[in-house]
Amino acid sequence: MVKMKSITSVSVTFTEGKTITEVVGSTVMLPCNQSVNKINQLTWTMNSKTLLSYRPGGLLYTHPEAERLNITMSLSESERYTLIIKRAEKNHTGNYTCEATIAEKGILEQTWELIITDHEQTGNWIIPLIPVAVIVPCVCCLIFIFAMIILRRSCKCRAKSRHPTAEMRKQPEDIYENCLEIDVRQRSSHPQPHHCNHRAQ
């Protein structure tokens, strides 16, 4: 979204940046129209407080607020005019504006909203996963153990139904012994005739 307005014959172009959310301790880099090469002056502000001022061919002036917040600006070709915050803290949260004065174009402004959050806030979604990661394997192990117990019991029942018990094996032997006893009794109750051999006279 670009807005144009003139203030005493000086045009000001506002370019809206975007909201950036970073974690405490991270390095934050806010670009400032890297395509702009010919500028008369460039200023970075935070919540309307001046942080850095730069004139081509001159020195980069760092204001006390930038020193306090440990904020610098890159002048390299790849990251020209990029605001750099090393080891960001929560007090770095705010609106950052890059204001570039360009010959024949007026003033170009670009604003970024920076939000710095704690490690705990960004990692809150991990905390509920810890009990789940512990409980799920335990439940799976219990299910496996119960399944093995049921399987072993069913196998034992099948084995018993296929093979006769020791008592069933003894039954034919008992029947055989009973038959022998009956035969012996019958013989004792009906004695065999005794044959006598007479001597010849």
Please state the pTM of the whole predicted model: 0.53
Percent over 90 (pLDDT), the chain? 33
Percent over 70 (pLDDT), the chain? 65
Q: Give the strands of the sheet with 94-102, arranged side by side.
A: 2-7, 10-23, 106-117, 94-102, 41-46, 49-54, 60-62
Task: Give 77-122 pLDDT, tens digit per residue.
Answer: 888 889 999 999 999 999 999 998 887 778 888 999 999 998 755 4
Rounded Cα distance between 98 and 88, Å, is 19
SS3 content of the chain, % helix, strand, coil (to 5): 35, 30, 30
pLDDT of residue 68: 92
Residue 29 burial (CB count, 10 A): 13
Residue ranges per structural domain of the chain: 2-122, 128-188
DSSP 8-state symbol, 119: H
Look up the CATH architecture of domain 2-122: Sandwich (2.60)
